[in-house]
Amino acid sequence: MPVARNPYAKQMNQYQNTKIQMAKPEELTLMLYDGAIKFCNIAIMALENKDESKFLTYLLKVENIVDYLNNTLNMNYPVAKDFENVYNYLMKRLVEADLHREDSLEIMNEVNKHLHTMRDTWVDAMKIAKGQMPAPSAQGAPA
């Protein structure tokens, strides 16, 4: 029996492609964080359902996004080194999730938490850059 196809799938793909092509670099980064979080959530659900194949598929998708984010860092900014350190740590943990199945669920939940934190930080940085939020004050910060 043929698989029923979504009659709107082609339009949705065109819409997604247009959205990506029209996005600013900072919006693309946000989309990548959103994608990594989505794929991480699917990998976690696959682990919970003991679906090894699906887990590996979505683990690889998360790895690919984190690797892309790491490889496209603009090292002209001092904060890029901090991002690089986090991305390298996340890649290490993702490899561990692949190698140590007994700990995979715990590791993937940790990675998911870090991805959410980084996404939220990125959203705040976008707001600061657009003037929608004041920059954090150095006043009162520890020296």
Residue predicted with more confidence, 34 or 23: 34
| pLDDT-based confidence at residue 119 (cuts at 50, 70, 90) | very high
Give Dmax (Cα) for the chain: 68
| pLDDT-based confidence at residue 143 (cuts at 50, 70, 90) | very low
pLDDT of residue 140: 47
Question: Worst-scoring range by mean pLDDT, 49-58, 87-96, 112-121, 130-139?
Answer: 130-139
Spatial CB neighbours of 81, under 8 Å, sequence gap ≥ 6: 75
114, pLDDT greater than 50? yes
Q: What superfamily in CATH does domain 25-129 come from?
A: Flagellar protein FliS (1.20.120.340)
pLDDT of residue 141: 46
End-to-end CA distance of the chain: 68
pLDDT digits (tens, 9 = 90+) for 53-103: 999 999 999 999 999 999 999 899 888 899 999 999 999 999 999 999 899
Q: What angle do CA 69, 92, 67 make, to 5 degrees?
A: 20
Assessment of whether the complete model's pTM goes beyond 0.85: no
* Angstrom distance (rounded) from CA 102 to CA 122: 32
Where are any strands of DSSP class E within 38-91?
none
Amino acid (1-letter code) at residue 57: T
Decide: 37 and 112 in contact? Cβ < 8 Å.
yes
- Highest mean pLDDT pick, 12-16, 24-28, 113-117, 134-138: 113-117
Looking at residue 100, the DSSP 8-state letter turns out to be -
Decide: 87 and 69 in contact? Cβ < 8 Å.
yes
